Structure 1
C-alpha cells in the first residue's frame, strides 16, 4: 500500500503543479502543531516525520477521491489493482477506522490550496468528493449541497452522521435509569407483539411502537457491519458520550437479539437482511458489540419505547390472547375447532342455567 501512496502522492503534486514540494512542506509545518493537538495519544513522531505523514496521507486521499470521482478519464494502469472491487471496499473501510483518521480540516486546507484556480461553480467541492467516495455508507441519503456547512471532524464522524437523522429530529437525552431491560424479539412475539419493517423513508434510529406493532427500519448485516458500528461506538464513547444515539440503537437491537431465533424473526419480517448467512453469527455480532461500552444516558424517545414495550409484555391479557392465537388458532382447522368448542361450551352453560332454574 505504501508504494501506491507514494505514486498517488506524486500524481497529486503534478495535478497541483502550481505549488512545489518545498512549499507544501512549509505549509504543512504550519499546520503540524494543530494536527498533533487533535490526537489524545502521544504521537511518537518527530515534527518532520509527522509533516511527511500528513502530506503523503492527505495527498493520497485527495488523489484517490479525484480518480474515483472522475473515473476512467484520469485513471492509470496502477488503478486496475488499487481500485479492484474487493480492495476498493477494504480501502474504504480502512479509511473509516477511527485510529486511521486525519483531521478533515487538513484535507480542506490542502484541497483549497491545491485547486484554488479551479474552484468555480462547476468544480466539485471536497464535500462532494467525500460524499461520492463514501456513498455506499450514506444510509440516510444526505445531500452534500444541503449540508455544505456541515462540521466534520474526520471520516468516522461523517460515517456516524450518515446514520443519524437531521439534528432537529434527534430526541432529547435523559439520565433516567428507570428502564434497564427490554425483552427479546421471541419473547415479545410470545406476548402478542408484531414486528414490521418500516418504510424505506424512515431513519435507521426511527423505531416506532403502536397498536401492538413495532416498526423497525431495515438493516443490512454483512462482513463490515461489526467494524462499522464498533468504530462509530468508539467515537461516541470518547467524543460525544452524552449524545450516543448510535449506542441507543445498537443497545436496543442487542436487547431484541439474544439467539438465532430472534434473528430469524427479524429476517422473516424484512427488518434484517443477513448477508452473514448464519443467524447465530448475526446474533453473536450484536451480543458482542457492547463489550466494555458505558451508557451515559438514553434518548427520551427510546426510554418511552422501552416503557411501552415492557408494559405491553407484562399485560396478562396480551399474553392470553397471544397464547390463544398461537396454540388454538394457528391453522384454519384449529380455528374452526376452537370456535365450535367455545360454542358448545356456551350451549352447555346455557343449558345448565335453564336446568337449575327449572329445578327451582
Structure 2
C-alpha cells in the first residue's frame, strides 16, 4: 500500500509538471541526432558561442572575454542606457525563450545576460568600423572566417527580432529615419549573409529582404539569400533520377553551367542540355549546407527547397566519375584541401542527404528527373551519343570519319558506274 501511494505521488507529479512544448514561435533547434551523427562537428561552434544552447562550453571560454570587450564598446556608444537595454531584453524574455526547442538550463537573470552580451557582440562584429578593424579578430583572417562560420550554425543563434530591437533602441537617433546614415539591422544582417555566401557564385544584383519580412535568424537569412526568389510549387512525390551524371553524359546529355543565375535552384533541362548554376565547394561548404538543410528539416518540412537541391545533386553524383562530369563542365569549382576533388565532392553531397526525411518535392526538379529519365531511355539518343563518342570526339577523329564516309560514298558511286558500263 505504501509503495502504491509512492507510485501515485510520482504519477501525480508527472501530471503537475509543465512539459516543454515547441510553439509556433520556435525557430532555433537542436539538430536531431539522426542528422548530426554523420558529422557532429558541422553543427557545433568552434570559436564563439551565441545564445544559450552552447553557452558555458569550456572549448569556447577564450572568446568570452573578447565578447565582453565588444559588449563594453557597444554600451559606451549606445544612445540607450544599460538599464533601458536590460528592461528591453527582460520584456522580450518570454518570446525569446519560446524560440528555443530545448530547455534552457539558466536562470532568467543568467539568460538575460547571455542575450544582451551576445547581441552586443554580434552588432559590433557586423559594424566593421574603425574600432573593430584594429581588433585581433579582424587582424587574423582565419579567426574572422571561423566566427563567420559559427554565426550561421543553427544551434548558435539569437532570434532576429531581439537583435533588431536592441539595435534600434541603442541607435534610434542614428538610423535613417533620424536623418543619419546608420544602416538598418536588416541591411547589416543581409550584408553579412551575402559576404559569407561566396560558395555559391550568384548574380550580384540582389535585394535585401523587406523590412517587415519574417527572417528568423542568421541561418534563415542565409537560406533566404540562396533562394532569392519565390520557389516553385511542390508535389507529394520523391525524386527518382534513375541515372547518374556519367551515365546521362554517355547517353548524350550535355552539362552546361548557368552563370547568369540568381538562385541555386535555377536548373533547367531542355533539348538534351542540363544547365545548373555554379557552386564553389570549399572546406566550409559542408557546414553551411548541413545547417540550412537541418533548418529546413526542423522548421520548413513542406518547403525544403535547398534539401531538394542537395538530393538532386546527390542523385547525379553517385561516384567520383559523376562528380568529375560536373567539375569538367564548370558547374562545380572545387577548392577542397587535398588532391582527390571528385571523391570529396561526391561524398559531401551524399553525406549531407543521409537520414533526411522528405514528404514532397519541388515540381521543377520532379519534371527535370522525368525528362532526364525519358531522354536516357530513348535508344536513338544513346546511339547518337555513341557515334559522337567513337567517331567525332576530337577534330582528328571527326576528320577521319568524314573522310571515310566520303571514300565509302565514292566507292559506292564508282561501283554503280562500273555496273552500268558493263550493261
Normalization by structure 2: what TM-score? 0.76
Q: Is the 8 A contact 1:219 1:272 kept in 2?
A: yes
Deviation readout 1:276-311 (Å, 9 max, x if unpaired):
153211111112111111112111111111100111
Tell me if 1:132 matches 2:191.
yes
Which residue number corresponds to residue 259 of structure 1?
Answer: 319
Tell me if 1:176 matches 2:237.
yes
Deviation readout 1:232-276 (Å, 9 max, x if unpaired):
000000100111110111111111112222222212221111011
**SS of equivalent residue, structure 2 residue 256:** strand
Q: CA deviation at 1:88?
A: 0.8
Tell me if 1:52 matches 2:107.
no
Q: CA deviation at 1:41?
A: 1.3
Which residue number corresponds to residue 123 of structure 1?
Answer: 182
Counterpart pick for 1:33 among 84, 89, 94: 94
Which residue number corresponds to residue 89 of structure 1?
Answer: 145
Pairs within 5 Å for 1:134-149: 134-138=193-197, 139=202, 141=204, 142-144=206-208, 147-149=210-212
Tell me if 1:113 matches 2:169.
yes
Q: Is the 8 A contact 1:259 1:283 kept in 2?
A: yes
Q: Distance in 1 between matches of 2:415 and 2:92?
A: 94
Q: 1:202 and 1:135, CA in 2 relative to 1: closer, same or farther beyond 3 A? A: closer
Q: Give 5+ residue unaligned stretches, structure 2.
A: 1-62
Counterpart pick for 1:312 among 361, 375, 397: 375
Which residue number corresponds to residue 12 of structure 1?
Answer: 74
Which residue number corresponds to residue 14 of structure 2?
Answer: none
Counterpart pick for 1:192 among 227, 252, 258: 252
Q: 1:202 and 1:315, CA in 2 relative to 1: closer, same or farther beyond 3 A? A: farther
Q: Distance in 2 between matches of 1:185 and 1:155?
A: 34
Tell me if 1:3 matches 2:3.
no
Q: Distance in 1 between matches of 2:420 and 2:106?
A: 99
**SS of equivalent residue, structure 1 residue 98:** coil
Q: Is the 8 A contact 1:226 1:285 kept in 2?
A: yes
Q: CA deviation at 1:183?
A: 1.7
Normalization by structure 1: what TM-score? 0.89
Q: CA deviation at 1:224?
A: 0.7
Q: Give 5+ residue unaligned stretches, structure 1.
A: none
Q: 1:40 and 1:18, CA in 2 relative to 1: closer, same or farther beyond 3 A? A: closer
> 53-62 vs 343-352, which deviates more?
343-352
Q: 1:234 and 1:342, CA in 2 relative to 1: closer, same or farther beyond 3 A? A: same
Q: CA deviation at 1:351?
A: 8.9
Which residue number corresponds to residue 23 of structure 1?
Answer: 84
Q: Distance in 1 between matches of 2:314 and 2:139?
A: 35
Q: 1:303 and 1:209, CA in 2 relative to 1: closer, same or farther beyond 3 A? A: same
Q: CA RMSD in A?
A: 2.6
Deviation readout 1:121-177 (Å, 9 max, x if unpaired):
432111122222333235454323x6333221000000000100322xx11000034
Q: Is the 8 A contact 1:220 1:272 kept in 2?
A: yes
**SS of equivalent residue, structure 2 residue 280:** strand
Number of residue pairs the alignment of both structures matches: 350
Pairs within 5 Å for 1:72-83: 72=130, 74-75=131-132, 77=134, 79-83=135-139
Q: Distance in 2 between matches of 1:274 and 1:45?
A: 43
Q: 1:343 and 1:152, CA in 2 relative to 1: closer, same or farther beyond 3 A? A: same
Tell me if 1:158 matches 2:221.
yes
Q: Is the 8 A contact 2:193 2:225 kept in 1?
A: no
Which residue number corresponds to residue 327 of structure 1?
Answer: 390
Q: Is the 8 A contact 1:140 1:163 kept in 2?
A: no
Pairs within 5 Å for 1:246-325: 246-276=306-336, 277-279=339-341, 280-325=343-388
Tell me if 1:101 matches 2:164.
no
